Structure 1
Amino acid sequence: MSKHTIIDDLLATLPNKPVPVRSVHVGAHWTAVCSTRCGLATTIIGDNCHDHKTVVRDAGSLHLKSAQELAEYAKSNYPLEASIGIAAINSLLDMDERNAVEMNASQVLMEKGAGKNVALVGHFPFIPKLRDSVKNLWVLELNPTEDDYPAQAASELIPKADIVALTASSLINHTMDNLLELCDPDALVMILGPSTPLSPVLFDRGANIVAGSRVLDENDVLHAIAQGSTFQQVTGVKLLTFTHP
């Protein structure tokens, strides 16, 4: 029997009544699905350009599906479909913003990580600043650069970390469940990035802090995504950080 995953738990929390999809946008860096709200996810395509063996099912008519049907794409082993699925999940979630603080995840990591061992899964722009404020910073990446560790080092480094920060992109490549299992029970665990589902499901699965995004100006965001913007270039989004109650 296959293991019940975080994605399964997220899908189980979505509304039963089908919600129409207003639009789907797949940009170079970000994917957006607009239904109840505009949900974002990192665009992950794969290793090969124009890989015609793996195509998005029903591309061209995705906007005719319900948001729940698109959300099921999150279970796909094809990363681009999974990106669309996570964006669809995020378009349907509604977490009470009164329980959040408007703060960048990097600030939280620098405050909590001072003098401690931090394992960070995913390469973020704030890494040089974070490295200066923590005891040890172990950055794990599927495609490591000079100071990064390969993803295979996770089983060695994550259990030793006082603080573990996981990119929400690990939901898209289906590694998050395993990464959470590697965390020391006493570690502070954060899930971060604009792809992060703002859902208590992540607390139930061991996260202490959930740091994601909420789209305020849909038009601004969609224009930026369509023109290949990185997240730093996107306007019309606010960052929200929730702590386990």
Structure 2
Amino acid sequence: MKDNIIQNEDNFLSKTGPDEKLYEKGSILEETKNRLISRYGDSLANLTLERVVIGIFYTGVKLSNGASGICFTPIKEIPESVCCPSSAKAMPRAGRLKGMSVADTFDYLSQQAPIKRAIAIATLNALSEDIWSSNPKEGSELYSIVEGDDIFADINLETIKKAVVVGALIPVIKQLKEHKVPYRIAELDIRTLKSEELPFFVNQSDFPHEVSTADLVIISGTTLINDTLESILQLCNPDAYVIIIGPTATMLPESFFARNISMLAGNRVVEPDEILDVLVEGGSGYHFYGQSSLKVIIKKQKN
């Protein structure tokens, strides 16, 4: 999702009230970064990037403590990728990322270069993975982490009047079709949709209304990269069941849950070097799920 897919939401965004800061661009990543800094304390100063891979589909990092995380590679959002001199501006530290301080990657979160943000997000995921691996009971009062990818296990799909899928999440769309759930699709690149899906495509002007009237909203984690996630969440009905899906959003979930998200469906790396070897050779999720990584669901505990 690009910014222009939600450019007509002003009437909805005016209804922010005291929670306005919750929906500032980049606030989820900023809060999560600060939470991780607090958790690691002085030990963060000793952590560096041991390995970085920017693949066609995913970007991955391995930290000096052995933890690893991945993030979607936003190739389509890099206009510089068509020109070598311009590409150098997009990733000026190429060849010198190994040994970079983990703390220094946090600066990438506030920069517009998509590849830099992908590296920073992958690093947040790696830091989160290290916390979970070190303490399997981490966050158990707030959330649970279970292996699997059945995001609809706890949802009675027969009661859903309308679902909105933000991003061309093909497996999700397939499940909605199979369960005959009325759905709409918001996706920047309409070419990713099949001909039978085109009638359900949401144009820019209709996007705010469609999201605000849906009782199930499923959002691609790639919205974290282009800073559109908070704006989309602000449009959601408070009673809607909201799911963020994809490896990009596999990090400490507190800031997501504070914004009425019920579930993160992500990916935990279990074999760091193996998954990075796959990514460097152009591999996608089909090449590493169930082998060097596990699909997981991070679910908010019911009160």
TM over 0.5: yes
Matches for 1:168-183 after TM superposition, within 5 Å: 168-183=221-236
Residue 294 of structure 2: aligned partner: 238
Q: Is the 8 A contact 1:166 1:191 kept in 2?
A: yes
TM-score, with length taken from structure 2: 0.73
Q: Would you say 1:81 and 2:146 are equivalent positions? A: no
- Partner amino acid, structure 1, of 2:281: Q
**Deviation for aligned residue 1:140:** 1.1
For residues 68-124 of structure 1, the C-alpha deviation after alignment (integer angstroms, 9 at most, x for no partner) is 2113313321211111111111111134655211121xx223762613111111112
Q: Would you say 1:44 and 2:69 are equivalent positions? A: no
Tell me the distance in 1 between the aligned counterparts of 2:284 and 2:73.
11
3-state DSSP class of the match of 2:151?
helix
Q: Is the 8 A contact 2:176 2:182 kept in 1?
A: no
Query: Taking structure 1 as reference, are residues 154 and 97 closer, same or farther at Cα in structure 2, changes over 3 Å only?
Result: farther
- Counterpart of 1:62 (choices 83, 90, 97) is 97
- Partner amino acid, structure 1, of 2:269: V
Residue 10 of structure 1: aligned partner: 32
- Counterpart of 1:91 (choices 112, 126, 130) is 126
**Deviation for aligned residue 1:134:** 4.2
Question: Once superposed, which parts of structure 1, at least 4 consecutive aligned residues long, lie more than 6 Å away?
Answer: none
- Counterpart of 2:54 (choices 26, 45, 49) is 26
Matches for 1:201-220 after TM superposition, within 5 Å: 201-220=255-274
Tell me the distance in 2 between the aligned counterparts of 1:73 and 1:151.
29
The more displaced of 19-28 and 94-103 is 94-103
For CA contacts below 8 A with separation 6 or more, give which structure has more relative contact order.
2
C-alpha RMSD of the superposition: 2.1
Tell me the distance in 2 between the aligned counterparts of 1:176 and 1:193.
13
Tell me the distance in 2 between the aligned counterparts of 1:6 and 1:63.
27
Q: Is the 8 A contact 1:68 1:89 kept in 2?
A: no
Tell me the distance in 2 between the aligned counterparts of 1:24 and 1:8.
22
Matches for 1:145-160 after TM superposition, within 5 Å: 145=193, 146=195, 147=198, 148-150=201-203, 153-160=206-213
Residue 148 of structure 2: aligned partner: 103
- Counterpart of 1:141 (choices 171, 183, 187) is 187
Tell me the distance in 2 between the aligned counterparts of 1:57 and 1:65.
13
Tell me the distance in 1 between the aligned counterparts of 2:180 and 2:92.
44
Q: Is the 8 A contact 2:28 2:256 kept in 1?
A: yes
Q: Aligned residue pairs: how many?
A: 242
Tell me the distance in 1 between the aligned counterparts of 2:91 and 2:180.
41
Percent of paired sites with the same residue = 22
TM-score, with length taken from structure 1: 0.90
Q: Is the 8 A contact 1:7 1:75 kept in 2?
A: no
Residue 166 of structure 2: aligned partner: 121
**Deviation for aligned residue 1:150:** 4.1
- Stretches of structure 1 that go unaligned for 5 or more consecutive residues are none
For residues 102-159 of structure 1, the C-alpha deviation after alignment (integer angstroms, 9 at most, x for no partner) is 121xx22376261311111111231223222142111211212342334554312111
Residue 240 of structure 2: aligned partner: 187
Query: Taking structure 1 as reference, are residues 113 and 139 closer, same or farther at Cα in structure 2, changes over 3 Å only?
Result: farther
3-state DSSP class of the match of 1:166?
strand
More helix by share: 2
Q: Is the 8 A contact 2:221 2:246 kept in 1?
A: yes
Q: Is the 8 A contact 2:250 2:268 kept in 1?
A: no
